[in-house]
């Protein structure tokens, strides 16, 4: 799902961001930017990489941000030949049928915070965690202290990729910083786990202790009637370091398990009933500042958590910080096959490439490289770039490839870099906060079998089980 608590400019009026090439539609329809000219919304055919890469990594394309999506890029989701990119101004739909020259199909101008995205068939779920005057896309920002302010989930119909339509909105306590898609067992419903945090007695819609998540049930044939059905308390006795909600949750429906990254705590959950998750284990780590996200191995027997030290805006890939802070922590799941899972710490991983003091750098969003029976991971590190990691030995993970640009500014710390990096149908797609969408090819014999894994849909926070050949995903 993913994403970070980072400093952002003050919310701006949506009218000030409506630029050339955008069409404002009101009422029940989303604010949708028209199809942009290829020169303004596609990869440069004479592309030359500005990144340093290892010998087994090739940077093949970059699609710069447009004026409409002038704010920060955030997370990614995938459906068919399309990538959906979140942005603080809304979301972008990219055509990636030709990965060497992706193009922008449409842009939906609908501000509301970092804009975490999940996709399910023709539906897109979009997180709103900056209060707006109403649930409409054109509503201006309002203070979080406004009791009528809207935060939560917006639902869009993206069956027509050039003209997405706004379907519905669901308000949730404390809004939605991230969201996680969970398929239902009956084939008639699906669920959205909504993660949010940082309550305050001054926020009428986000009251402490907020030791819970919100669960939205979506009838697949009637998404407009989606509603919150429960808000289970995950920390009835309070969490470590005053945990008040979760940052992100990753589910593995095949094995009925989920891992929650919840501020001061890492948790494991049983989701055999997706409408009623149950916490089965909780761990803390004094080296972790902020439990941010999680990824399971393909066999479900290991999970990697990330620590977003500094909230994503700090320069933490420095010798003075060390290798155990702002890093990944790897846990094996003891008793996994017996139905009595417990987390057991194995080791840390942090990129060995030291970055400068003007480069925000910390562990962030990534996904497995789908090599069945082996454990490889691709991960974003903001201005630390993209790392390719071998963690087949969870106690001694190693970087085996990388993509790394130089600092945005040599003289001062400027927020930027890769927010998310995910492997999808033979390529790595990286959402760069300021530079747009990057496409990367892994030229390594260890990953050849991954090219046989074809997905029809991919939400990184809703993990599929990978199998060689076609038929993976939904």
What whole-number distance in Å separates Cα of residue 60 and Cα of residue 33?
26
Question: What is the reported pLDDT for 20?
Answer: 22
Is 293 part of any domain? Answer: yes
- Domain tally, the chain: 1
- Burial-class residue 147 by CB neighbours within 10 Å (0-12, 13-18, 19+): exposed
Is 53 part of any domain? Answer: yes
Question: What is the reported pLDDT for 41?
Answer: 63
Q: Is the peptide bond preceding residue 209 cis, with omega within 30 degrees of 0?
A: yes
Is 3 part of any domain? Answer: no
Q: Strands 453-455, 469-472: parallel, antiparallel or unpaired by DSSP? A: parallel
Is 169 part of any domain? Answer: yes
Question: What is the reported pLDDT for 469?
Answer: 56
Is 2 part of any domain? Answer: no
Nearest to 360, CA basis, from 383, 327, 379: 383
Rounded to the nearest 10°, the torsion over CA 144, 7, 72, 266 is: -90
Is 7 part of any domain? Answer: no
Question: What is the reported pLDDT for 338?
Answer: 64
Question: What is the reported pLDDT for 238?
Answer: 86
Nearest to 183, CA basis, from 253, 136, 133: 253
Rounded to the nearest 10°, the torsion over CA 383, 451, 54, 373 is: 90
DSSP 397-450: -EEEEEEEE--S-SSS-B--SEEEEEEETTEEEEEETTTEEEEEEE--GGGGGG
- DSSP symbol at 39: H
For residue 382, give every residue at least 6 positions away whose Cβ sits within 8 Å of its Cβ, in sequence order, or none. 312, 359, 360, 361, 362, 364, 416, 417, 418, 419, 433
Is 1 part of any domain? Answer: no
Per-residue pLDDT of the chain (474 residues; tens, 9 = 90+): 444 333 333 232 222 222 222 333 333 444 554 334 333 568 888 899 999 999 999 999 999 999 999 999 999 999 999 999 999 999 999 999 999 999 999 999 999 999 999 999 999 999 999 999 999 998 999 999 999 999 999 999 999 999 999 999 999 999 999 999 999 999 999 999 999 999 999 999 999 999 999 999 999 999 999 999 999 999 998 888 889 999 999 999 999 999 999 999 999 999 999 999 999 999 999 999 999 999 999 999 999 999 999 999 999 999 999 999 999 999 999 876 666 778 999 999 999 999 999 999 999 999 999 998 999 999 999 999 999 999 999 999 999 999 999 999 999 999 999 999 999 999 999 999 999 999 999 999 999 999 999 999 999 999 999 976 544 555
Is 310 part of any domain? Answer: yes
Cβ 355 vs Cβ 384: under 8 Å:
yes
Kindly report the CATH number assigned to the domain that includes residue 288: 2.130.10.10
What residue numbers bound the domain in which 191 lies? 14-472
Question: What is the reported pLDDT for 24?
Answer: 32
Question: What is the reported pLDDT for 6?
Answer: 34
Report helix, strand and coil shares of the chain as percent, to nearest 5: 5, 45, 50
What whole-number distance in Å separates Cα of residue 75 and Cα of residue 84?
8
DSSP 342-376: EEEEEEEE--SS---TTB-B---BEEEE--TTS-E
């Amino acid at each position: 799902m993913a994403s970070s608590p980072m400093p952002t400019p003050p919310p701006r009026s949506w009218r000030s961001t409506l630029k050339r090439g955008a069409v404002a539609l009101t009422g029940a329809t989303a604010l949708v930017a028209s199809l942009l000219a290829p020169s303004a919304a596609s990869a440069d055919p004479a592309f030359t990489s500005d990144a340093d890469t290892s010998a087994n990594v090739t940077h093949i394309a970059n699609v710069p941000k447009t004026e409409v999506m002038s704010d920060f890029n955030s997370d990614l989701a995938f459906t068919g030949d399309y990538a959906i990119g979140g942005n603080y101004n809304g979301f972008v739909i990219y055509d990636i049928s030709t990965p060497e020259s992706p193009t922008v199909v449409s842009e939906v101008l609908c501000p509301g915070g970092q804009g975490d995205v999940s996709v399910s068939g023709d539906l897109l779920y979009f997180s709103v965690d900056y209060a707006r005057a109403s649930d409409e896309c054109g509503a201006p920002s309002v203070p979080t202290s406004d009791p009528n302010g809207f935060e939560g989930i917006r639902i869009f119909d993206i069956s027509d990729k050039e003209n997405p339509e706004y379907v519905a909105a669901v308000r949730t306590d404390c809004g939605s910083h991230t969201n996680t898609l969970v398929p239902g067992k009956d084939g008639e419903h699906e669920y959205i786990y909504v993660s949010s945090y940082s309550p305050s007695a001054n926020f009428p819609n986000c009251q402490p202790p907020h030791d819970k998540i919100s669960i939205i049930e979506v009838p697949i044939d009637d998404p407009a009637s989606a509603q919150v059905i429960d808000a289970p308390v995950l920390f009835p006795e309070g969490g470590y370091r005053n945990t008040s909600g979760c940052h992100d949750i990753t589910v593995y429906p095949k094995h009925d398990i989920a891992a929650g990254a919840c501020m001061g705590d890492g948790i494991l959950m049983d989701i055999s009933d997706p409408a009623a998750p149950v916490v089965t284990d909780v761990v803390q780590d004094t080296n972790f500042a902020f439990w941010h996200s999680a990824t399971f191995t393909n066999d479900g027997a290991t999970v990697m958590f990330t620590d977003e030290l500094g909230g994503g805006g700090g320069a933490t890939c420095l010798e003075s910080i060390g290798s155990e802070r702002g890093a990944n922590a790897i846990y094996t799941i003891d008793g996994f096959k017996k139905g009595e899972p417990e987390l057991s710490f194995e080791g840390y991983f942090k990129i060995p490439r030291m970055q400068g003091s003007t480069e925000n750098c910390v562990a962030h969003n990534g996904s497995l490289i789908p090599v069945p029976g082996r454990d490889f991971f691709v991960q974003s590190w903001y201005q630390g770039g993209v790392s390719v990691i071998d963690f087949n030995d969870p106690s001694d993970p190693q970087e085996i490839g990388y993509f790394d640009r130089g600092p945005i500014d040599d003289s001062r710390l400027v927020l930027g870099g890769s927010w998310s990096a995910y492997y999808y149908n033979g390529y790595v797609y990286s959402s760069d906060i300021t530079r747009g969408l990057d496409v990367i090819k892994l030229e390594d014999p260890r990953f050849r079998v991954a090219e046989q894994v074809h997905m029809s849909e991919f939400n990184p926070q809703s993990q599929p089980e990978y199998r060689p050949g076609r038929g993976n995903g939904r």
